[in-house]
Structure 1
C-alpha cells in the first residue's frame, strides 16, 4: 500500500483552504489594482472594451478546461484515499494531453472567429482584444490540469503560488503594454488588446510555477517532469486504475468535468449575457458604440469587488470537493455533513458581511479607485450580487463533492434565463441599475435552488437562530461601526482642513474595512456565533483560544 495522502485529515483541508484563500485575496487585489490604471489612464471607453472581452475569454477558458481541475482533484483524491499514487499520476498525464488539445482548439476558434464574436457584441473595436487574449488558451488549460492534481493531493501551496505569479505577471505585462500603447497614441481597441494580452503572459508564468513544483515532487521519487508523458509502471496493481483503458478514463473525466463546468461558469456566463445584451440595448437607445462602452465601463466598476469575494470563496471551495470525496471513501460521511453545516454558516456570514460592507462603502471605494463617484448607485446594486454569488459558488461545490453535479448545471441555465429576461425588461427603463438588479436576482435564484437540493440530500438542520437572528445582529453591529467611520471621518477631515478627494476616500475605505472586519470577528466570538471547537480546526489558532476565553471574547 502506498503512502497515505497528506490530505487525510480535516485540518489539512482547512489549512489548504486558508492558503488558497490568502493567495486568492493577494492575486485578486493585484487584479483589482490593475483596473485602476487601466481606467484612469485609458478611460472608460477602453475599460468598457476590456470588460466586454475579458468575461468572454474566461468563458472560453472554462469551456476549454471543461471543469477538469475539479474533476482531476476528485479522481486524484479517490486514488490517494486508497494509496494509489501511480493511478493519480496516470490521471494527470491523460488530463494534460486532453486539455492541451482542448486549449489549442479553443485558441483556433477564438482567434479565427474574433470578427464574428465582435459582430455579435455589436462593437468591432473588440476584435483585436479578443485575438490578443486567445493566446492564453494555449497554456492555461495545461496549467489547470496540474493544479487539479495537486489539489486532489491536498497540497494547495503550488496552486496558491501559481495564482499569485500568474496574476502578478499578467498585471505587469498589462501595465507595460498600456504605457507603451497610450504613449504612442494607439487606438482604443489596440490599447484594450494590450491589456488583454497580459492573460497569456500570466498563464505562462503560472504554468512554469506548476511545472517547477511537479518536478520538485518527482525528484523526491527519482523522476523528472518528463514523467508527464511517460507511462508509469509503479503502484500496487490491486489498487490502481491500470485495468481501465485510457478511453474509459477519458470518458469518466469528461463526463464529470463537463457537468462541473456547466455549474461553474455562472460568473462568466452571466457576464457574457451582459456583454451581448447591455451594449445592444444601449445602442437601440441611440447611444454610439463609444457611449455604450463608456456606460458599460462605469457599470463594470463594481464587478471587481464582487469578484474579489467570489475569487476568495471559489479558491477555498476547491478544497471542499476532495475533502468530501475522501470522507465518503473512509466512511466518515456523517461527520462531513456536520462540517458542511458549519461551512454553510461561516460562508453565509462572510457573504452577508461582504455584501453589507461593499454597499456601505460604495461611494468612497468608487472615488478611491476610479477618481469620481459616477455610477455609485449602480455600484451599490452590483455589490448586492456578492451574497448570491458567494452562496452559489459554495453550495455548487458542495453538491459536486456529493456527486450531484447535474443540479448546479441545471440551476445555471435557470439563472441565465432570469438574467436575460430581466436585462431586456429593466435596462431600457433603469439603465445600468437594471442590469445590476437582474444580476442580483439571477445569482440569488441559482443559490436558492442549490440550497434546496443540498438541504434535501443531506437532511440538514438549519435554524433561524443561526442563519437569520445571529447574522442579523452581527450585521447591525457591523453597520453601526462602519457607519461611524463613513460619516465621522469626513467630518474629522473637514475640521482638520484635509481636502476631500481620492486620498481621503481611500482612508475612509481602508479604515472602514478594518473596523468592519474587526467588529464582525469579535462580535461573532462574543455572541457565540463562532465557537471554540470550530476555531480549533484552524491550524496554529488553538493556542489563542484559552486567552480569548479568559478575556471574555470567546465563549467556553
Structure 2
C-alpha cells in the first residue's frame, strides 16, 4: 500500500485494525441512524414520522440499485490488480467504477426526482412527493462515495470508509434536526417538514463524499500525484484488458440483487399500508399518522438486531474458513451456541418490550398511542435476531442465495397478510403480519441449516425451559413496572408523566434482564464455556457475570472450540 513504512504494522495487524475501525464505525452509524428517528417523531409528530418511514425504505432500495454492488466489486478487482503488480490497473478499475456510478446515480436520481409524483400515487399518499424529491439528491453523491470506499478497501485501508460512514451519519442527523426545528417553528406543512428530514440523507451523503475526496487527495499526493494523460490512457487500456466492463458488472450485479432483498421486506409496508389505511376511511394525514404510530416499535427492534449483527460479523469468515479447510465439525457446537444465545436474547427482548410497551412508548415518543401495535411488533425482535444469525451461518456455509430467497418469501408473506389482516385490525394487523414474515424468514433459514447438520434444536433447550424463563422474567418486569409507577405517584406526585414512565420502564427492563440472566444460568440453558465461544459477545459478558456471581461454577464441561478468525477464506460451493 502506498505510504507503508518500516514502522507500519504488518498486513495482519493492518487488517485487524481496519476491521476494528470499520466495525466500530458501523455500530456508531447504525446507532445514529436508528436513534435519529426518536427526535424526528418528538419534534414533528406522527404524521411526519409516517411520511419519513414511508419514503426512507424506498430510498434505501434505490440507493442499493444505484451503487450496484460497486464497493465490493471495486475492492476485489483493485486488490487483484495490485496483487499482480499493476497499480495503474487498480486506478483503471476505479475510473471504470466512477464512470458507471455517475451514470447509475444520475439515472436513479432522475427516476426518483421526476417520478416522485407517480411513486407517491403508488404509495397512496401525495404527502410523500416532496420527501421523495428531497431524498433523491443523495443519489448524486452516494454512488461516487461508494466507489471510492471500495477502492480504499481494495488497498486494505478501512479507515477512510469508517470515518466517512460516521461523518455521513453525523451530518445527516445534524441537518435533519436543524431543518426540523426551523421548519416546525416556521409553521411549514407536514409534507415540507418531512422533505426537510429526508434532505438530511443528501447532506450526509455529501459530507461522506467530501471525506472520501479528502482521503483520495492525500492518497494521490503520497503516491506521487496524478499520472500524465498518456500514462492515464495506458492504465485504462491495461485495466480494461484485465478487468472489462462486462466482468465488473457481472460480478457487481448479483451483489446488487442480493442487497435489495432486505429493503423489500420493509418496502412491503410502504406500498400497502397507506393505501389500506385510506380504504378503511382515514384521510391521507390520518393514514400517515397511523403509519407513524406503527413505526414506533421498529427502532427498538433494530437496536436489538444490532446485537445479533455484532455476533454475526465473525460467523461468516469463520465458517468459510472451516468449510474450506474441512474442519466444520470443530466449529459446529460454537455456531449452535451462537444461535441459541441469539434465540434467548431475542426472547428476552421481545417479552421485555411487550410488557413495557406503554412506558417505553411514552419514554421515547411522549405518548402511549399505538402501544398495542408496539406490543405485537416486539415479537419481531426474536425472529429478526434469529434471522440475522442464521443468515450469517448460511452465508458462511456457502448458501447465500437461500437467505435472499427466504427474505423474498417473507416479503410476500408480509404483503399477503397486510392485505388480509389490516382491513380487520388496522395497524395491529400489520404488526401481526410483520411477526409472521420474520418468523417465516427465520424458520426457513433454520430448516436449511438443519440440512447442513447445524441447528440441532432440542425441545427442552429451545422450547420448554426458555418459555418458563421468559414468563418468569415477564412477571418480574410487570411487577417492578407496577410498583415503580405507584411508588413514584406516592413519593413524587408532581413528577411529570413522561419522566415517571421513563423511570418505571428503565427499572422494569433492568430487573427483567437480571432475572432472565439468573434463570438462564441456574437452569443450565447457558454455560460459561458456551458463552465464551460466542463471537464478539461472550468475552464482553463473562467478566461482569462472574463479578456479580451470576454464573455458577461449571466443572468438567467440555468447552466448544471458539470460532477461528480468518483474514480471508477461500470460497467453495456446497450443494
TM-score of the two chains, using structure 2 as the length reference: 0.79
1:328 shift after superposition: 4.5
The residue that corresponds to 1:60 in the other structure is 62
Which residue of 2 is the match for residue 510 of structure 1?
506
Partner of 2:203: 201
Name the CA distance, whole Å, in 1 between partners of 2:121 and 2:427.
Answer: 22
State yes or no: 1:424 paired with 2:426: no
Summarize deviations over 1:231-283 as a string: whole Å, max 9, x none. 999xxxxxxx9985334541442243034224xx33x3233222221221122
Q: Distance between the aligned counterparts of 2:541 and 2:48, measured in 1?
A: 51
Per-residue deviation, 1:512: 3.4
Superposed, 1:81-230 pairs within 5 Å as: 97-145=99-147, 160-209=162-211, 222=223
1:260 aligned partner: 258
Greater shift in the superposed pair: 498-507 or 191-200: 498-507
Q: CA offset at residue 482 of structure 1?
A: 2.5
Q: How far is the alpha carbon of 1:394 from its aligned partner?
A: 2.8
The separation in 1 between residues aligned to 2:402 and 2:27, in whole angstroms, is 29
Q: 1:423 touches 1:438 (CA, 8 Å); kept in 2?
A: yes
Q: Equivalent of 1:464, from 459, 474, 498?
A: 459
Give yes or no for contact 2:163–2:211 (8 Å, CA) kept in 1: yes
Per-residue Cα deviation, 1:37-57 (whole angstroms, up to 9, x for no partner): 332332222222112111111
**Post-superposition offset of 1:363:** 0.8
Tell me how far apart the structure 2 counterparts of residues 508 and 215 of structure 1 sit (CA, whole Å). 52
Matches within 5 A, 1:405-444: 405-444=400-439
SS at the partner of 2:131? helix
- Deviation string 1:108-127 (CA, Å, 9 cap, x unpaired) is 21112111101111222211
d(CA) in 1 for partners of 2:94 and 2:317?
15
Contact 2:528/2:551, CA 8 A, preserved across alignment = no
Distance 1:388 1:45 in 2: 28
Within the candidate set 340, 348, 355, 1:353 is matched to 348
Within-5 A mapping of 1:295-444: 295-314=290-309, 317-329=312-324, 332-444=327-439
8 A contact 1:528–1:555 mirrored in 2: no
Distance (Å, rounded) in 2 between the aligned partners of 1:218 and 1:518? 53
2:532 maps to 1:535:
yes
Deviation at 1:418, TM superposition (A): 1.3
Which residue does 2:482 correspond to in 1? 487
Q: Distance between the aligned counterparts of 2:398 and 2:164, measured in 1?
A: 28
Contact 2:184 2:193 in 1 (8 A): yes
Inter-partner Cα distance in structure 2 for 1:431 and 1:540: 41
Unmatched segments (≥5 aa) in structure 2 = 555-575
What's the secondary structure of 1:6's corresponding residue? helix
Aligned-pair CA distance for 1:448: 1.1
1:34 matched to 2:40? The reply is no
Tell me by how many angstroms 1:78 deviates.
9.6
In the alignment, which of 263, 266, 274 is matched to residue 279 of structure 1? 274
Of 541, 548, 553 in structure 1, the residue corresponding to residue 551 of structure 2 is 553
The offset of 1:135, in angstroms, is 1.3
Instruction: Quote how far apart the aligned CAs of 1:374 are.
Output: 0.8
Q: Does 1:450 align with 2:448?
A: no
> Which of 3, 6, 23 pairs up with 2:12?
6
Q: Which moved more, 1:247-256 or 1:45-54?
A: 247-256
Q: Cα distance, 1:60 vs. partner?
A: 1.3
Structure 1 residues 177 and 550, CA gap change in structure 2 (3 angstroms): closer
Counterparts of 1:319 and 1:93, CA distance in 2: 32
Distance in 1 (CA, whole Å) between partners of 2:168 and 2:60 is: 14
CA pair 545-421 structure 1, distance change in 2 beyond 3 A: closer
CA contact (8 A) 2:93 2:243 kept: no
**Cα distance, 1:6 vs. partner?**
3.0
CA contact (8 A) 2:69 2:253 kept: no
1:101-144: per-residue Cα shift (whole Å, max 9, x none)? 33332212111211110111122221110011111122233444
Query: Mean Cα displacement is larger for which, 273-282 or 135-144?
Result: 135-144
Contact 2:311 2:537 in 1 (8 A): no
Aligned-partner SS, 1:374: coil
Q: RMSD of the TM alignment (CA)?
A: 4.3
Gap change, CA 1:248 and 1:420, over 3 Å in 2? same
Q: Which has the larger radius of gyration?
A: 2
Report if aligned partners of 2:311, 2:536 keep a CA contact under 8 Å in 1.
Answer: no
Q: Is the 8 A contact 1:161 1:209 kept in 2?
A: yes
For residue 392 of structure 1, report the CA deviation from its aligned partner: 2.3
Counterpart Cα distance in 2 of 1:188 and 1:406: 41
Structure 1 residues 207 and 333: alpha-carbon distance in aligned structure 2, compared to 1, 3 A threshold: farther
Residue number in structure 2 paired with 1:237? none
| Pairwise CA distance, 1:391 | 2.3
* Residue 475 (structure 1) aligned with residue 475 (structure 2): no
Deviation at 1:544, TM superposition (A): 6.9
Matching residue of 1:236: none
Q: Distance in 2 between matches of 1:517 and 1:152?
A: 42
Distance in 2 separating the partners of 1:154 and 1:524:
42
Distance change >3 Å, CA 200–CA 543, structure 1 → 2: closer
Unpaired runs of at least 5, structure 1? 234-240
